[in-house]
Structure 1
């Protein structure tokens, strides 16, 4: 009889452990669902990855890889500003479409600024890939001058400028830009 009670105690302990693990998994799934819903809200325009269209970009002063100083006053209508990070899978997905779009702009690389976020060493490959279609600005993180001025909260981010430093179009996908043609 003591063996039966010991077996029942072991089965009970296993069932209790299983119940606790199941509760922990359900809690974690709820957290993931909340994160996914927040991401979908941002994707559908309910959240912004930069300042919203119609907002004026803040003051900044940066130097491009070509040693050209750029300030908010240089943000003319039609200028495309993009933010990329080498640690971002979405950036890798959007990069080919960005290169195609930027290559088709009439002003060439003078109409495009690519802000790359990270250390110079980790940005080397990305810098080489984008320097043919964009002026390059390197910032260590989202607290850099341009990132702060544009209210950057994630990447990739694409901003088409309107007049007087006002954002005309913003989003995290290239297909939000006017004239974009998918392949």
Structure 2
């Protein structure tokens, strides 16, 4: 009988300890959820996929898939820029909208820059390049390449308009995010 009482007490104590740990985990998850929800609104770069409006693009040099060399000093007017990652479903979904907008961008292909980021084993880079090449100067680079660093790209897709002096006019993840600059 004493053995049965000891076993019941031990199981009860283990259940109480488990309950305390479970409540601690729930409290910690609530704290993390609150911190994550605040990330989108705190600080100038939080929630941004690239440099926000008013920030200057850094220096860069890159080569397009056509073999042309680009640099930050080559701008002669407002430039539409788009960054797309291989294997990124939102990138694939928003690509046709970017291509359509790029086709109508003032200055034509010369003032549209598209970057396809990632390793070839991550997705079909050629499909992205084939869709973008008629309307944009296309650059292929690995993740963290010079253009991505210059534009402080932190997520994909990243789309923006840069003025002739290299200052971001507007940025976002969809073409409607750029509406004030295209109006």
Q: Compute the TM-score of the two structures, normalised by the length of structure 2.
A: 0.79
Cα 1:12–1:117 change in 2 (3 A) is same
Aligned to 1:116: 116
Aligned to 1:19: 20
Gaps of 5+ in 1: none
Aligned to 1:161: 162
| 1:39-92 Cα deviation digits (max 9, x unpaired) | x327x9773433332333222111111111111122232211111212444434
Kept after mapping to 1: 8 A contact 2:45/2:52: no
Kept after mapping to 1: 8 A contact 2:79/2:164: no
2:132 corresponds to 1:130: yes
2:149 corresponds to 1:148: yes
| 1:145-183 Cα deviation digits (max 9, x unpaired) | 1112222233322121212222222223321213799xx
Cα 1:27–1:154 change in 2 (3 A) is same
d(CA) in 2 for partners of 1:170, 1:179: 10
Kept after mapping to 2: 8 A contact 1:51/1:150: yes
Kept after mapping to 2: 8 A contact 1:90/1:156: yes
Q: Compute the TM-score of the two structures, normalised by the length of structure 1.
A: 0.79
d(CA) in 2 for partners of 1:86, 1:151: 18
* Paired positions, count: 178
Structure 1 window deviating more from structure 2 (79-88 vs 121-130): it is 121-130
Gaps of 5+ in 2: none
2:32 corresponds to 1:31: yes
